[in-house]
Amino acid sequence: MKLKDVKALVDQDPARRAMQMLKLGSALAEEKKESGKLTVPSPLKARSVMEHEPGLMLLSLHGVAAEEPHKTVGLHSTGRTLETAAGEVDDLVLTPRGRKKRVRAAMRRSSGTSVEDLAIRQLGIGLLESDPHARVCAAYAYWQATGWSEPVMPILTNAIDSSDVDERELAATCLTQIDAKKVRKLQGTASDDKPQTPIQPVKPSMTVLIHGTFAMDSAWYQPGGDFHSYIKSKVYKDVYSKSDFFFWSGRYHVLDTELKKMWTAAAKKLVAWCKAHPTNKLRLIAHSHGCNIVNIATQLGLEACSLVQLSPPVRDWNLPDMQRVSSCTF
């Protein structure tokens, strides 16, 4: 790990900062695995402060140094609370200006501190990010680097209740690595991957939307949802809009072997659904791991005129059978 990678957190915009934090967390986790020596710096734990000064509890739980928290520039409440092992605490974040000042101050105090410990310190400050996506990434990276879940679980479990779809699904994906039980409420069950409708009359053409993980109950892809409505009015008028629209469980697992079983069940459901809704021209628009469902469906023989993939998390063992996909416009 190089110092320039840590310094990159100072001025970047939230999206690039989020990616850099994930990169640092992964690098620190790898170093910890190889050496077994990387530990959480004691100023970040601040357990004694948490035990004796309840007013300093939040910053301690978030994993950043808890000295003089009320004088921290830019610290403000989000208006929400976090459920922690010590009870409910106010959810505090730093303004962008306050975050930048705190990050730069930590860099100046880095004399004699290893690059690895400095990176962990910066990730700890990231737990007070005001940008929700960067904050979720910081939480996951901090857990990767330290193995300490206590400060990050309140942030991630709070985020899976967010109205922001990206924040919710990002947090849920992170939580599956730490404690998969926490995201069960966002997932369906195996029964949701079973065929759902009888055979319908043949349509001249049809566009089908396929959601990703943790999104079965999301509105965006369903008839009347914002994305569905946009596609229907602005792009493809033949997008399927009846009440028996396609959905799958949205389940996820950290092991590829289990994941493939889940995805295959959902892909079989998609194949059965398309057979029950025959069309001369089939277009599939999939998002996130919904793309992997479609890929397996083509491997199982599903043929489509067009395949549109939005933000596909690529697996080299799960690519589409392009011989089943022909290019056409209509």
Q: What is the pLDDT of residues 102-150, one digit of tens each?
A: 888 778 766 677 888 788 888 888 888 899 999 999 999 989 988 888 8
Arithmetic mean of pLDDT, 300-321: 90
pLDDT band at 221 (very low <50, low <70, confident <90, very high): very high
φ, ψ (nearest 5 deg) of residue 91: -90, 110
pTM of the model: 0.62
Q: How far apart are the first and last CA of the chain?
A: 51
Residue 106's Cβ-side half-sphere holds a number of Cα atoms within 13 Å equal to 28
pLDDT band at 228 (very low <50, low <70, confident <90, very high): very high
> How far, rounded to the nearest angstrom, does the alpha carbon of residue 72 sit from its chain's CA centroid?
29
Mean pLDDT over each residue of the chain, to the nearest integer = 82
Please tell me the predicted confidence (pLDDT) of residue 66.
Answer: 41
66-70, 123-127, 262-266, 322-326 — which one is most confidently predicted on average?
262-266
The tokens describing 294, both together, are 């479609």
Exposed, middle or buried by CB within 10 Å (0-12, 13-18, 19+), for 60? buried
The tokens describing 271, both together, are 């194949």
How far is residue 215's CA from residue 173's CA, in Å, rounded to a whole number? 12
Neighbours of 197 (CB within 10 A): 14
Please tell me the predicted confidence (pLDDT) of residue 39.
Answer: 55
How many separate helices (H) and strands (E) can be counted in the chain?
Answer: 13, 5
Please tell me the predicted confidence (pLDDT) of residue 37.
Answer: 61
Poorest-confidence range of 177-186, 233-242, 289-298? 177-186
117: nearest Cα among 151, 145, 158: 145
pLDDT band at 297 (very low <50, low <70, confident <90, very high): very high
Is pLDDT above 90 for 274? yes
Q: Which amino acid is at 232?
A: K
Please tell me the predicted confidence (pLDDT) of residue 122.
Answer: 86
Grouping H, G, I as helix, E, B as strand and the rest as coil, residue 287 is strand
How far is residue 291's CA from residue 288's CA, in Å, rounded to a whole number? 6
**Strands, DSSP E only, in 13-104?**
75-84, 87-94
Arithmetic mean of pLDDT, 8-36: 85
Q: What is the pLDDT of residues 113-126, one digit of tens each?
A: 788 878 888 888 88
Q: What is the pLDDT of residues 43-102, one digit of tens each?
A: 444 443 334 333 334 444 444 444 444 455 677 778 788 777 666 777 878 888 888 888
Is pLDDT above 90 for 199? no
Q: Comparing 18 with 44, which gets the higher pLDDT?
A: 18
Please tell me the predicted confidence (pLDDT) of residue 328.
Answer: 58
How do 87-94 and 206-210 pair as beta strands? unpaired
Is pLDDT above 80 for 219? yes
Please tell me the predicted confidence (pLDDT) of residue 50.
Answer: 37
Q: Which residues pair with 133 in a beta bridge?
A: none
Neighbours of 126 (CB within 10 A): 30
How do 306-310 and 282-287 pair as beta strands? parallel
Q: Return the biggest CA–CA distance within the chain.
A: 73
Please tell me the predicted confidence (pLDDT) of residue 34.
Answer: 73
